[in-house]
Amino acid sequence: MSEKIEVTIEPKSFSVATGDTVEATATLRNLGQTVDQFTVSIEGLDPAWYTFPVSSVALFPNDQDKLKISLKPPETGETKAGSYPFRLIVASQENPDETETVELSLEVIVHPELEMELNPQRIRGRRGIYRIVVNNPGDRGVALQLQASDDQGILHYELSPESLTVPGGGRTESTLEVRLGWMAFFGGEKEFEFQVQATLTDVDEVKTVNGQLVRIPWYRTFTQMRLPRIRLPRIRVPFLTRPPAIATFKATTDDHREFKLTWSVKRAAEVKLDDESVNRQGEKVLNPTEATSYVLTATNRYGSSSQTVDIHPLPAPKAKVSQRIRASLSPTEFQVNAGGVPAVATLQLQNLGEIVDKFSVEIDALDESWYSRSASSVALMPQATDQVQISFQPPKKKGVKAKVYPFAVTVRSQSTPEEGACVLGQLEVLPSVEFKLKIAPYRVSCRRKGTFRINLANTGVSDANLFLEATDLDEGLRFRFKNENPVVPAWHTVEVPMTARPKRGSKIGEKKRYDITLTATTADGSPQSANCELHHSPFISSWRPILRLIRIIIVLGVIGVAGYYILRLGGGWRVLSGSPQTWLNELVRTIEGWFFR
């Protein structure tokens, strides 16, 4: 234990998931009699797992300073879950033998990577039974909750079971029964799309797969009906007299500047967000400058219900001038790429007071992972000046978007904490469009048309305006997109259905494989491609069997007509059945009469 260094840190054990950041504050005190510089280091952890705002701190005798430590295990396959012990070591530069060590522990939680499939993905009829298969390639078991829904709300679902526990390296299945409501019984053929969501119990993560139930025309359902299984509609009178219910109403944000309100209401005749009429299900993006409360009110003839959501954005920074501190920032406006080369600014400080003072440097309105300082505090003699280098480097991660972020650099006196100077600046994150294109399933077999799901994942900091185009080598397919020009918000995923249908007809022809190339192009002309296959199996392979059948029918018709007239020439069926010889003689006389009159 060192007699010149005192180090305190709370807590001494941390728990964090891969890709997330946890912070700790260490307090360093100089117990010696002289001004000393102390270096800080960590042993027992990969250097990529932690960062320091500063690697050394200068302290006067009996003075102290606080140092923040950021721990962030990377979200890679090499990061394993478990407990990692490590040490924080503080050493004196004046006397390197003087060191102080603190034993710490880091508990790493690895997010599970589940694979969920729906088999089959498409069923024709008023009722379909699907298998939900969940694979867990990870090392530890995962508990999840299943839920099925559709946008129109006209399908009925039965999950068995609804809760699953998937062991590490194993798989688990659940059965989903999807039925059409009796109101949707009548009508022609129509596709109803639904989603199955798996919500992980331990972490805030949702997996989604899509499926289809294709309603066949109502008159075809009679061939599939079974009287013992007929279910008559049940009229529930109490349901008609219930007031509306607000299923969800919440606000989400990534940077505490831009908020997204989402809501879902049941049994409502009118829905209002504050004084604005809105749909029963919807969302709205807001940019409040101060704490605001939003009220969602739903009403019908039997009553009303309401919920309130409070939004607390980051306060807008304000400039401030001090009589004891002079501070200036050069430059004050920056343009950087997320995850790119940092932008460096110089903070010029001057002690306008009459005593030796120490000044702390803090950056407000920006996340601490966005910047680093050459020093968190500066000691100055009266009228002396010094500089602090500030490097701005926004990380490329979810929540970082292309826009302008105002911030403030605050300098405070440690001898008089109420004295402080504040300098304003602006950090602009430049637009960058990056996306990933996937097609599922890769291979589709059909008789009339095939449906593919195009998955567009935006991994950039700005919204992606894409143009979709599909081609095949033989140019024998017609393609149709549900949305040909999708807009994918930053760090979001959008799924677009694509239908492929043969041009030459779908009922007659030979089996054929079509190689499809899908291209997604951004607004600036950057393309990305993916491939898939359509295997077309017509109902009839060619016209030859039909023509052969027609010839046989014509020949049989000619033979039948000829036999009918020959039978009548001999006197008819009664004469033939009563006396065949008489019928034959009459036939001979009739034929002779044609030639010997």
pLDDT over 70 percentage in the chain: 91
Residue range 113-133: mean pLDDT, rounded: 85
From residue 234, alpha-carbon distances to 150, 183, 186, 239 in Å are 22, 12, 18, 11
* CA end-to-end span of the chain: 145
Q: Does domain 5-109 have CATH number 1.20.140.10?
A: no
Bridge partners (DSSP) of residue 294 are 309
List the one residue out of 119, 255, 152, 136 whose CA is nearest residue 200: 136
Residue 413 contacts residue 324 (beta carbons within 8 Å): yes
Per-residue model confidence as pLDDT tens digits over 499-514:
999 887 656 667 889 9
- CA-wise closest residue to 413 among 458, 382, 443, 444: 382
Contacts of 289 (CB under 8 A, 6+ apart): 313, 316
**What is the rounded radius of gyration, in angstroms, for the C-alpha atoms of the chain?**
38
5-109 shares its CATH topology with 115-234: yes
**Which region among 3-7, 61-65, 75-79, 392-396 has the lowest average model confidence (pLDDT)?**
75-79
User: Is 551 exposed, middle or buried (CB count within 10 Å of its CB: 0-12, 13-18, 19+)?
Assistant: exposed
Band of pLDDT at residue 476, cut at 50, 70 and 90: confident
Helix or strand holding residue 300 (H, E)? strand 292-300
Distance in angstroms (rounded) separating the CA atoms of residues 39 and 26: 13
Whether this prediction's pTM lies above 0.95 is answered by no
SS3 label, residue 99: strand
Query: Region 144-156: what's the mean pLDDT?
Result: 84
Q: Is the dihedral of CA 49, 52, 56, 58 positive or negative?
A: negative
Dump the DSSP string for 236-251: -HHHHTPPPEEEEEEE
Q: Is the predicted pLDDT of residue 276 greater than 80, yes or no?
A: yes
Q: pLDDT tens digits, residue range 288-313? A: 888 899 999 999 988 899 999 999 88
Output 406 or 316, whichever has higher pLDDT.
Answer: 406
* Token pair in block for residue 139: 């090392």
**Cα–Cα distance measured from residue 104 to residue 535, given in angstroms and rounded to the nearest whole number:** 59
Q: Which of 43-47, 56-60, 563-567 is modeled with the greatest confidence?
A: 563-567
Per-residue b or e along 59-74, where b marks 16 or more CB atoms closer than 10 Å to that residue's CB: beeebebebebebbbe
Instruction: Give 197 or 19, the one with higher predicted confidence.
Output: 197
Length of the chain: 597
Domain 238-311 bears CATH identifier 3.40.640.10: no
Rounded to an integer, what distance in angstroms lies between the CA atom of residue 401 and that of residue 405? 10
DSSP 540: B
Which strands sit side by side in the sheet containing 385-392, from one edge to the other? 325-330, 343-351, 385-392, 371-373
Task: Calculate the average pLDDT of the chain.
Answer: 84
Output the pLDDT for position 263: 93
The whole-number pLDDT of residue 16 equals: 77
Which has more pLDDT, 331 or 199?
A: 331
Q: Is the pLDDT of residue 241 over 80?
A: no
**Residues in contact with 287: Cβ distance below 8 Å, sequence separation at least 6, in sequence order:** 257, 258, 259, 313
Greatest mean pLDDT among 182-191, 554-563, 570-579 lies in 554-563
In terms of Cα–Cα distance, which of 32, 24, 25 is closest to 6?
A: 32
Q: At 316, is the secondary structure helix, strand, or coil?
A: coil
Whether the predicted pLDDT of 228 surpasses 70: no
Residue 399 binned pLDDT confidence (cut-offs 50, 70, 90): confident
Q: Under CATH, which number does the domain 115-234 receive?
A: 2.60.40.2310
Residue identified by tokens 């969302």 is 283
Query: Which pLDDT value is given to residue 345?
Result: 94
Q: How many Cβ atoms are within 10 Å of 454's Cβ, its own excluded?
A: 24
Indicate the domain borders of the chain. Answer: 5-109, 115-234, 238-311, 325-429, 435-536, 553-595
| Residue 296: both structure tokens together | 């969602």
Helix axes 544-569, 580-595, angle to 10 degrees: 90
Higher pLDDT, 217 or 196: 196
| pLDDT over 70 (residue 521) | yes
Band (187; pLDDT cuts 50, 70, 90): low
pLDDT value at 379 more than 80: yes
Task: Note the pLDDT tens digit of each residue in 80-108.
Answer: 777 888 888 888 887 877 888 888 888 87
Read out DSSP for 401-447?
-SSEEEEEEEEEESSSTT-EEEEEEEEEEPP---EEEEEESSEEEES
pLDDT band at 124 (very low <50, low <70, confident <90, very high): confident
Dist. CA 70–CA 50, nearest whole Å: 6
Q: What is the pLDDT of residue 343?
A: 92
Q: What are 528-541's pLDDT values in tens digits?
A: 999 999 998 887 66
pLDDT average, residue stretch 244-255: 88
Q: How far is CA 424 from CA 59, 151, 288, 554, 570, in A?
A: 28, 46, 20, 95, 118
Q: Residues 7-52: pLDDT tens digits?
A: 888 777 877 777 778 888 888 888 888 888 888 888 888 888 788 7
Architecture (CATH level 2) of domain 435-536:
Sandwich (2.60)
Mean pLDDT in residue range 449-460 = 92
* Residue 264: pLDDT over 80: yes
Distance from C-alpha of 26 to C-alpha of 38, rounded to nearest angstrom = 13
Res. 571: pLDDT tops 80: yes
Q: At 565, which helix (H) or strand (E)?
A: helix 544-569
pLDDT confidence tier of residue 240, bands split at 50, 70 and 90: low
pLDDT at position 224 over 60: no
Tokens at residue 365, please?
């309105």
pLDDT score recorded for residue 8: 81
Closest by CA position to 512, among listed 533, 491, 484 = 533
Fold of 325-429: Immunoglobulin-like (2.60.40)
